[in-house]
Structure 1
Amino acid sequence: MDILLSILAILVLAKVLGELVERVGYPALIGEIAAGVILGPSLLNLVAHDDVIEALSTIGVILLLFVIGSQMNLKLFVSSTARMVVTAVTASLIPVCAGFLLGTLLHQPLILSFYLAIILSITSVGIVVPTLVSLNKFNTEIGTTIIGVAVLDDLIALTLYGILSSMSVGKGISTADLLISVGISLLFIIGMATAGRFVLRRVFTLSARASSHEVSYAISLILAIAAALLSHAAGLNYVIGAFLAGLILGDLIRIDRQLFDSLTDSAFGFFVTLFFASVGLVLEITPQNLSPLIIPILLTAIGAKILGGFLGSIWFFKDAKSALLVGIGLCPKGDLPLAISKYALLAGLISNELYTTTVLTVIATIIITPALLKRGFQSQVEPAPLG
């Protein structure tokens, strides 16, 4: 199929299905992934995942993580730092350990156990926020705890993924390799938080003085892509640099509502849609790829997150139900694990079977979590936290 016709088919079907899915209360990304599944090799096999689609979807995932990062107002969480840090550590550590243990029990290689550990540790901010808003719990103590922990969990997961993505495919993981990978990831994050922060904010501030508002828009895109390329040059994935750039520039971007809306509309109106559709395009749902592993992986993903969130936050709330709701709210996966999984597949780190299992697990958590949260909040009179 002609490439323009392919893009047109993807956009039309993805937007139609995304709108239908949103009308029944779920994120549009489920419909957009479904569009890729329908048009790809799983069903109609009309659209190929070629270099053009991949290039556009790469820009999409860069913009997706940049926008997610720019939405994070970390200053809102300063007053609850202890509660969020403690909860984030347990809500990451327990799923990471569970992922390693599950991979070992399933006789998976160490690198695949590491991959499972990363995927299980993630909470999707992009799914959590609209869910809490729809339940009118965004500005509650439970809501802000969930969001703050989700942000920290994603930072931890991105650091772990930086380690994974810097490992050579096909090599064993020696202690030296692991230490080098950890060092590269930490140096990149520290560099972005110091020199990178100064450069990015300085360039953006200078662009705001231009007579044309389009300059700030263009500079935002340039800085997002530049940061992504820098992380890629360091042996990490594009998403890490893009996310950090969004965090660094977030407060500057959000005060210019027109700029923020323009970035969001261009990202989610075209590029991000192509990215989610591409997730479905490389998904081959065949009897061979429908693994029974989805049941233990899904149960572990939900159980480990609930346990981690509960154990981390129980010390800061007066009742166990509030801590349980925090754990439930940390369950949904979404954009970030999909991005990590797709790049892990294309890099040869995981099989089509594990990729299919991961995508289906992500979709299941997106469907299950809002229903569990709604039920939990209906029976909850939220208490004030202890600290």
Structure 2
Amino acid sequence: MELLGNLTLILLATTIVGHFSTRIGIPAVIGQLLVGIVLGPAMLGWLHLTHNLEGFAEIGVIVLMFIAGLESDLQLLKRYLKPSVFVAILGVIVPVLGTFWVAELYHLPLTESLFLGVIFAATSVSISVEVLKEMNALNSREGTTILGAAVVDDVLAVIILSVLVSTTGTAVGGHTSGNLLVTTLMQVVYFAAIYFVVKWLAPYMAKMGKRLMIPMGETLMAIILCFGMAYVAELVGLSDVVGAFFAGIAISQTSVKSTVDRHIEPVGYAVFIPVFFVSIGLNMDFNGLGKQLGFILVLTVVAVVSKLVGAGGGAKLAGFSWLSSTAVGAGMVSRGEMALIIAQIGYQAKLMSPVRYSAIVAAIILATLVAPFLLRLTMNQVTKGQKDRSKVRPLND
């Protein structure tokens, strides 16, 4: 009964707020995040992140990233692989150094300083995907680079986290330094297996779906592949969103792409995806944060600027214009669920003191709230610049 009441409240609030957010030109996802903050422990206390809501939220981000993969152009992803790697590497190095400096400034222990860098090295591209979809820019050069870089970024962050937890932390979920090499090898095998999935498994499952004598057979087979790849990704120490994204790419190469896309979007956006965005806001709690306000503000500013400079610098090195580079950097600013998950893992592994945990979560959410505004602003400038250039060209002919 509690779950039904919570879902009713979330869907009612996100529908109303999303409508008015879009009407005044604010990304709908911002309204959904604010619903979580207002209705959650931070303000009214009407909603709390229960185990059931966490399950809905996890399905929401998996479906969102599956849709992102489904609507991505594989040829464009291949074409922009080089800039994606540049963006990801610099987008990890600069935030690690920047947030490590903040930790040293506030005299945090060395282990906690290192872990803080790992938290803010991560990127959650789910919010950027939503903004890019709203702007019809998901398959633009900037959008494709952001998607590719986010995957590489996620892998790098997971590897660094694995090393840090294995060498300095308390074992979490049975992972110790003894199986670090095995975990790394399993991740390599996982990425190698993606080629097999795209080439053979996904087309075979698509054909099976067409032959099934049940409604929406193709979509059911696609969801099975999505959840299966997300589950295996978690088993080998990666984020489930990585598996979901590549499952979407695999299905996008089959003849059932448009059918699956048409069926799965209404389900995702009607229920699961709004719950995911609200859940990020529900992690916010203002209790006891007054004394750490300076730390939160400095950490938030460094988190935003370091990702903007690092990822944007990587795009510039890869040959992008300053405007496009800034847009790519803005698309990588959001930390969202990836940073929250890493923070929780580190907290359980005793890599972070309870005193700083709430402040770090607050900084993650603040950086996540800023990200959609930055991305929309910079992408609008990119679009405006492209239109201006197209008007100038005929005059030069």
The normalised TM-score by structure 2 is 0.78
- Give the structure 2 partner of residue 155 of structure 1: 151
> Are the aligned partners of 1:294 and 1:361 in contact in 2 as well (CA < 8 Å)?
no
> Alignment partner for residue 192 of structure 2, among 190, 193, 212?
190
The alpha-carbon distance between structure 1 residues 128 and 41, as it changes in their structure 2 partners (threshold 3 A), is: closer
The alpha-carbon distance between structure 1 residues 108 and 176, as it changes in their structure 2 partners (threshold 3 A), is: farther
> Are the aligned partners of 1:42 and 1:283 in contact in 2 as well (CA < 8 Å)?
yes
Kindly indicate whether residue 26 of structure 2 is the aligned counterpart of residue 26 of structure 1. yes
> Are the aligned partners of 1:127 and 1:333 in contact in 2 as well (CA < 8 Å)?
yes
Q: Report the secondary structure of 2:46's partner residue.
A: coil
Query: 1:368 is matched by which residue type in structure 2?
Result: L
Deviations 1:176-214 (A, max 9, x none): 776555444333322334468643442233213334451
- Give the structure 2 partner of residue 288 of structure 1: 289
User: Matched residues in 1 for 2:239 and 2:296: separation?
Assistant: 26
> Alignment partner for residue 304 of structure 1, among 280, 303, 306?
306
Q: Report the secondary structure of 1:216's partner residue.
A: helix
User: Matched residues in 2 for 1:12 and 1:181: separation?
Assistant: 42
Deviations 1:13-69 (A, max 9, x none): 122112222222232222112222222212222223222212222222221222222
Structure 2 unaligned residues grouped into runs of 5+:
391-397
Q: Which stretch of structure 1 is more off in the superposition, 109-118 or 240-249?
A: 109-118
The alpha-carbon distance between structure 1 residues 19 and 301, as it changes in their structure 2 partners (threshold 3 A), is: same
User: Matched residues in 1 for 2:249 and 2:126: separation?
Assistant: 13
Q: Which stretch of structure 1 is more off in the superposition, 257-266 or 290-299?
A: 290-299
The alignment covers a number of residue pairs equal to 373
User: Matched residues in 2 for 1:261 and 1:334: separation?
Assistant: 30
Measured after TM superposition, the shift of residue 268 of structure 1 is 1.6
> Are the aligned partners of 1:40 and 1:280 in contact in 2 as well (CA < 8 Å)?
yes
> Alignment partner for residue 340 of structure 1, among 338, 341, 345?
338
The alpha-carbon distance between structure 1 residues 3 and 78, as it changes in their structure 2 partners (threshold 3 A), is: closer
Kindly indicate whether residue 237 of structure 2 is the aligned counterpart of residue 232 of structure 1. no
Q: Report the secondary structure of 1:208's partner residue.
A: helix
Q: 1:361-376 counterparts in 2 under 5 A?
A: 361-375=367-381
User: Matched residues in 1 for 2:301 and 2:262: separation?
Assistant: 37
> Are the aligned partners of 1:14 and 1:34 in contact in 2 as well (CA < 8 Å)?
no
User: Matched residues in 1 for 2:220 and 2:120: separation?
Assistant: 33
Deviations 1:144-188 (A, max 9, x none): 1x2232122211122134333694694289987765554443333
> Are the aligned partners of 1:27 and 1:127 in contact in 2 as well (CA < 8 Å)?
no
- Give the structure 1 partner of residue 277 of structure 2: 276
Query: 1:344 is matched by which residue type in structure 2?
Result: I
User: Matched residues in 1 for 2:95 and 2:375: separation?
Assistant: 17
- Give the structure 1 partner of residue 393 of structure 2: none
Query: 1:359 is matched by which residue type in structure 2?
Result: I
User: Matched residues in 2 for 1:80 and 1:358: separation?
Assistant: 28
> Are the aligned partners of 1:310 and 1:324 in contact in 2 as well (CA < 8 Å)?
no
The alpha-carbon distance between structure 1 residues 185 and 25, as it changes in their structure 2 partners (threshold 3 A), is: farther
Query: 2:261 is matched by which residue type in structure 1?
Result: F
Q: 1:158-177 counterparts in 2 under 5 A?
A: 158-163=154-159, 164=161, 167=165, 170-171=169-170
Measured after TM superposition, the shift of residue 285 of structure 1 is 2.6
Measured after TM superposition, the shift of residue 354 of structure 1 is 1.0
The alpha-carbon distance between structure 1 residues 150 and 313, as it changes in their structure 2 partners (threshold 3 A), is: closer
Deviations 1:53-86 (A, max 9, x none): 1222222222122222222212124445545544
User: Matched residues in 1 for 2:197 and 2:222: separation?
Assistant: 18
Query: 2:226 is matched by which residue type in structure 1?
Result: A
User: Matched residues in 1 for 2:206 and 2:379: separation?
Assistant: 39
User: Matched residues in 1 for 2:283 and 2:137: separation?
Assistant: 36
- Give the structure 2 partner of residue 264 of structure 1: 265
The normalised TM-score by structure 1 is 0.80
Kindly indicate whether residue 330 of structure 2 is the aligned counterpart of residue 331 of structure 1. yes
Measured after TM superposition, the shift of residue 249 of structure 1 is 2.3
What is the Cα-based RMSD across aligned positions, in Å? 3.7
Q: Report the secondary structure of 1:26's partner residue.
A: coil
Kindly indicate whether residue 209 of structure 2 is the aligned counterpart of residue 207 of structure 1. yes
User: Matched residues in 1 for 2:229 and 2:379: separation?
Assistant: 36
Query: 1:233 is matched by which residue type in structure 2?
Result: L
Measured after TM superposition, the shift of residue 265 of structure 1 is 1.5
Q: Report the secondary structure of 2:314's partner residue.
A: helix
> Alignment partner for residue 244 of structure 2, among 242, 245, 252?
242
Deviations 1:267-325 (A, max 9, x none): 121011111112222321334276433433333334334433554344565xx9x2343
